[in-house]
């Protein structure tokens, strides 16, 4: 198997530590027990080499031999093809994992990310735009509750869909957005209790602490 290398920033401010999206990739690699290396790219002064791997100057990206992949969802799907621990082997399970991974990105995170930015920046007030965004996210969480009430993991067995969805929900939970959603909170608790998450998270914290 070709060497897997995950690249993340060399340093980030305190606030995003533990939430940088390389956690999704670390978590998946740990779940699968795949050997990997972690490399750093400068947070300050992003150059052509960075943009060649990630056109928006963001992290993470993964190299698998001579293949370089950006976008955390695409990286998770790539890893899903390398390990049954990340993606069910049967066609029905694979399509369920794929649809729920996209749902995490395109139906929940598309609402939760701007929501989190507004909360973090102190703009979650009375403005109609905030209320509309809050309703948008609330609508998604209300629908997730009954789905998660009837299953342990989104695609039957644990999969990359759960890594994605749980990480999206982590940020909502950080700003108390899951207070009214006990089923989502229980799902998040069982996902983040997994040893692979605990290790990936600890490794990310140590990575950024090492460069302070």
Contact residues for ligand GSH, defined by CB under 6 A: 20-21, 57-59, 71-72
Between 20 and 157, name the residue whose CB sits nearer to ligand GSH.
Answer: 20
**For residues 72 and 98, which CB has a smaller minimum distance to ligand GSH in the complex?**
72
CB of 76 to ligand GSH, least distance (A): 9
Q: Distance (Å, rounded) from C-alpha 119 to C-alpha 37?
A: 35
Compute the least distance from the CB of residue 144 to ligand GSH, in Å. 19
At its nearest, how many Å lie between ligand GSH and the CB of residue 210? 18
Q: Min. distance of Cβ 47 from ligand GSH in angstroms?
A: 14
Min dist CB 22 to ligand GSH, Å, is 7
Going by C-beta distance under 8 Å and a sequence separation of 6 or more, which residues neighbour residue 135? Answer: none
25 vs 178 by CB, closer to ligand GSH: 25
Q: With respect to ligand GSH, which residue has the nearer C-beta, 61 or 157?
A: 61
- Both tokens assigned to 191: 């996902």
Q: Of 44 and 132, which CB lies nearer to ligand GSH in the complex structure?
A: 44
């Amino acid at each position: 198997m070709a060497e897997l290398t995950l690249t993340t920033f060399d340093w980030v401010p305190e606030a995003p530590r533990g939430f940088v999206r390389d956690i999704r990739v670390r978590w998946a690699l740990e779940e699968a027990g795949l050997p990997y290396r972690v490399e750093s790219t400068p947070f300050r002064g992003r150059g052509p080499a960075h943009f060649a791997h990630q056109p928006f100057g963001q992290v993470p990206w993964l190299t698998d031999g001579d293949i370089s992949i950006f976008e955390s969802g695409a990286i998770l799907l790539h890893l899903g093809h390398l390990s049954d621990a990340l993606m069910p082997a049967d066609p029905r399970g694979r399509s369920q994992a794929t649809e729920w991974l996209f749902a995490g990105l395109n139906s929940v995170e598309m609402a939760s990310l701007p929501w989190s930015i507004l909360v973090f920046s102190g703009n979650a007030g009375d403005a109609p735009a905030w209320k509309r965004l809050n309703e948008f996210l609330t609508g998604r969480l209300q629908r997730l509750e009954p789905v998660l009430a009837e299953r342990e993991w989104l695609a039957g067995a644990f999969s990359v869909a759960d890594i994605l969805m749980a990480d999206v929900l982590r940020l909502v939970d950080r700003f108390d957005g899951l207070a009214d959603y006990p089923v989502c909170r229980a799902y998040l608790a069982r996902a983040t209790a997994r040893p692979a998450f605990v290790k990936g998270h600890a490794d990310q914290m140590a990575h950024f602490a090492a460069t302070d």
